[in-house]
């Protein structure tokens, strides 16, 4: 029997993927079948496709659109919605194109009368139980069910329509709102949570007409082990899942003359929000967005990349301190590898599933939270504004950021450091509400005193970006060799890409003197203790891949020998976050990544330690340097005396 998890029913890691449990590919009886071509006919078009290609994939090569609802490029095959049914000559029943593999000659019709009638009836049945009206739905005009209803001419409820909700809307989570009255049982959220993320919060329960999507024991989402990543939202075809929107409270603050409202914007939303305005994926609108935010009423617009640079200074110093303690002081209590802590979804995943490893997490706050703490201390002092009158908003690609800013330890400024987390989708809606045409607005810069940030902070938005940013600084500081003399154009490509897990080793041929800024924290004047060493790093994105790395570390495998590991909860990193524009796909995430790397390549400043504003911050405010007393108070998470992270 599979192991039971006390909070979550059957643990996602103990079950086979849905694709393996529900469908079995036809047995290949001869090795020659592998890679063989099969002749088929689709709507009187003849073609050859590789053995095992699905009918859906084959049709797309001919630009024939077969509608889908349960199918998604990121997820395993399900074949449950039956919207993609096609007719195959000689077969009595219609077949789901997304789940039917081509293993021999077929003659297929994708729009016969029988097919059109079946699709229409399936839509009508879904609409009968899909409670609510479109005008008030967050997915209005971006709803796959709504689009199909229009395409198939649904102009009345053929089988009636539920006029009363059957479920109470679950608003218990800081990040995700569940309205099961809108659910169409496509199970995309289930496959996302179990297979893509390996968290396992959601599952289909009961049978037949009583089937529902539920949490363990139907508990509120805020009471189960949800990591708030929002990946279920990005794949839900309707409005059954959405992020908790704080825009009304933000508008109220903007309209209050006593409040000084500041917004910080992360790089990933700036590479994606244009999609909400009809621009192709990968179109960066950073400087137009600055203008839109000021016109919308924000008093200051700051770049989160500034505190991403600050994070590199703190996190890299923390790693060097751990290495020095391990190699010089022979402290056997030092926890290595050090894990990144920028992704709140990953941090929560680690706390839930690997609590014995929480001390391996960097104590650094994320760039969002570092900025919030500084805005209500350092900035408030410089601007002569009472911090109680400052409202801080963070534009993030991530629904988990909403949870992060509400964690009880995120109050080191004496106030709630970040008041509101806002997703790309929610800000796009706010801009539309003002009537501003974002793509055609004039460009403008970020506000001072932190107007400039480096490309290293910018690439935080892509998987591997935190690692690359850290290496640009660490390699140069430790060896004294310019990083661009080791890596062409400063592009550390071995840590880039969309492979689930990457591993890289960097030899340290020589060492340099420790910069004066770091000497107090490290307690040494040279990096001789690292001479001849090899720095071992790893990158993982998506918590299913994070689980692979963690299990390898637990088993004493290769990753246990690493010194630094970057984890991001979402596929593709922040650019694939749960607050990004819908739809998402591997191609869309790749386009967003290209936009981020292209913007980085065009900047003059591309290393965090060369950011003048960061250096000045240490001189003026964080005077005891990275990982010093003041920076640890404001920029790092606090620990209880028993050594456990506050959760």
Cα–Cα distance between 279 and 292 in angstroms, integer?
A: 16
Q: Which of 87, 198, 275, 318 is catalytic?
A: 318
Q: Is 398 a catalytic residue?
A: no
DSSP 3-state percent helix, strand, coil across the chain (nearest 5): 40, 15, 45
Encode 168-181 in three state secondary structure: CCECCCCCEEECCC
Q: Is 362 a catalytic residue?
A: yes
CA-derived radius of gyration, the chain = 26
Provide the terminal-to-terminal Cα distance of the chain, rounded to the nearest Å.
Answer: 32
Distances (CA, A) of 496 to 257, 279, 590: 45, 25, 11
Q: Which of 203, 275, 404, 426 is catalytic?
A: 404
Q: Is 570 a catalytic residue?
A: no
Q: Is 162 exposed, middle or buried (0-12, 13-18, 19+ CB in 10 A)?
A: middle
DSSP E strands, 398-517: 420-423, 501-507
Q: Which of 409, 561, 590, 610 is catalytic?
A: 409
Cα–Cα distance between 275 and 285 in angstroms, integer?
A: 10
Residues 6+ apart with CB under 8 A from 215: 8, 201, 202, 203, 221, 224, 226
Tokens of 287: 């400087």
**Which letter does DSSP use for residue 2 in this model?**
P
Tokens of 215: 């949490």
Report CA torsion sign: 270, 272, 274, 277: negative
Cα–Cα distance between 496 and 420 in angstroms, integer?
A: 31
Q: Which of 175, 284, 341, 362 is catalytic?
A: 362
Q: Which of 324, 376, 401, 607 is catalytic?
A: 401
- Look-up of token digits 């099969």: 38
Q: Is 48 a catalytic residue?
A: no
Which of 506, 430, 490, 501 has its CA nearest to residue 458? 490
**Which letter does DSSP use for residue 386 in this model?**
-
Bridge partners for 601 per DSSP: none
**Which letter does DSSP use for residue 579 in this model?**
T
Q: Which of 70, 183, 226, 342 is catalytic?
A: 342
Supply angle C-alpha 581, 586, 587, rounded to 5.
85
Tokens of 311: 């994070």
Which of 508, 500, 503 has its CA nearest to residue 559? 503
Cα–Cα distance between 320 and 308 in angstroms, integer?
A: 18
Q: Is 404 a catalytic residue?
A: yes
Tokens of 100: 């039917």
Q: Which of 232, 405, 574, 627 is catalytic?
A: 574
Q: Is 31 a catalytic residue?
A: no
Q: Is 401 a catalytic residue?
A: yes
Q: Which of 144, 314, 315, 476 is catalytic?
A: 315
Residue 615 parent element (H or E)? helix 612-620
Give the residue numbers marked as catalytic: 315, 318, 342, 362, 401, 404, 409, 574
């Amino acid at each position: 029997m599979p192991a039971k998890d006390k909070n979550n029913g059957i643990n996602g890691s103990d079950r086979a993927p849905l694709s393996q449990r529900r469908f079995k590919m036809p047995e290949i009886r001869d090795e020659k079948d592998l890679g063989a071509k099969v002749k088929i006919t689709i709507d009187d078009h003849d073609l050859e496709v590789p053995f095992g290609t699905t009918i859906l994939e084959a049709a797309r090569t001919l630009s024939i659109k077969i509608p889908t609802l349960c199918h998604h490029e990121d997820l395993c095959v399900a074949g449950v919605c039956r919207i993609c049914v096609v007719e195959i000559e000689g077969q009595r029943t219609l077949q789901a194109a997304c789940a039917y593999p081509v293993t021999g000659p077929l003659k297929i019709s994708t729009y016969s009368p029988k097919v059109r009638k079946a699709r229409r009836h399936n839509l009508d049945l879904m609409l009968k139980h899909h409670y609510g009206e479109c005008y008030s739905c967050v997915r209005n005009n971006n709803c796959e069910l709504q689009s199909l209803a229009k395409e198939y001419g649904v102009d009345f409820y053929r089988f009636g329509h539920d006029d009363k909700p059957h479920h109470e809307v679950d608003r218990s989570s800081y990040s995700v709102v569940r309205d099961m009255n809108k659910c169409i049982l496509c199970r995309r959220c289930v496959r996302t949570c179990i297979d893509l993320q390996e968290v396992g919060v959601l599952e289909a329960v009961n049978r037949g007409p009583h089937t529902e999507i539920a949490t363990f024991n139907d508990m509120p989402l805020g009471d189960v082990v949800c990591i708030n990543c929002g990946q279920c939202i990005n794949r839900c075809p309707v409005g059954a899942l959405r992020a908790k929107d704080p825009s009304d409270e933000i508008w109220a603050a903007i309209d209050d003359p006593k409040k000084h409202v500041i917004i910080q914007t992360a790089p990933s939303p700036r590479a994606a929000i244009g999609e909400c305005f009809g621009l192709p994926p990968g179109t960066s609108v950073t400087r137009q967005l600055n203008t839109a935010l000021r016109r919308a009423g924000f008093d200051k617009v700051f770049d989160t990349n500034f505190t991403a640079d600050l994070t590199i200074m703190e996190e890299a110093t923390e790693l060097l301190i751990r290495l020095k303690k391990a190699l010089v002081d022979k402290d056997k209590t030092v926890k290595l590898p050090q894990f990144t802590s920028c992704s709140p979804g990953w941090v929560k995943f680690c706390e839930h599933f690997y609590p014995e490893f929480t001390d391996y997490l960097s104590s650094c706050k994320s760039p969002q939270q570092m900025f919030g703490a500084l805005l209500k201390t350092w900035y408030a002092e410089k601007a002569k504004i009472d911090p109680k009158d400052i409202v801080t908003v963070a534009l993030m690609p991530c629904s988990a950021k909403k949870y992060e800013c509400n964690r009880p330890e995120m109050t080191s400024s004496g106030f709630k450091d970040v008041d509101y987390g806002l997703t790309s989708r929610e800000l796009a809606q706010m801009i539309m509400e003002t009537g501003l045409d974002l793509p055609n607005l004039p460009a403008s810069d970020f506000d001072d005193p932190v107007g400039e940030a480096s490309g290293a902070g910018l690439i935080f938005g892509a998987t591997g970006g935190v690692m690359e940013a850290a290496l640009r600084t660490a390699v140069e500081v430790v060896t004294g060799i310019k990083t661009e003399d080791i890596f062409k154009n400063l592009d550390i490509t071995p840590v880039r890409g969309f492979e689930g897990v990457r591993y890289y080793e960097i030899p340290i041929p020589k060492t340099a003197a420790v910069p004066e800024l770091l000497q107090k924290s490290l307690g040494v004047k040279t990096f001789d203790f690292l001479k001849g060493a090899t720095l071992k790093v790893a990158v993982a994105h998506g918590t299913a891949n994070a689980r692979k790395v963690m299990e390898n570390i637990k088993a004493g495998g290769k990753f246990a020998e690493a010194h630094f590991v970057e984890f991001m909860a979402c596929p593709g990193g922040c650019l694939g976050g749960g607050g990004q524009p819908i739809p998402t796909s591997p191609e869309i995430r790749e386009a967003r990544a290209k936009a981020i790397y292209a913007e980085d390549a065009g900047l003059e400043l591309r290393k965090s330690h060369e950011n003048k504003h960061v250096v000045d911050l240490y001189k003026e405010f964080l005077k005891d340097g990275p990982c010093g007393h003041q920076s640890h108070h404001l920029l790092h998470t606090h620990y209880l005396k028993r050594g456990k992270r506050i959760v």
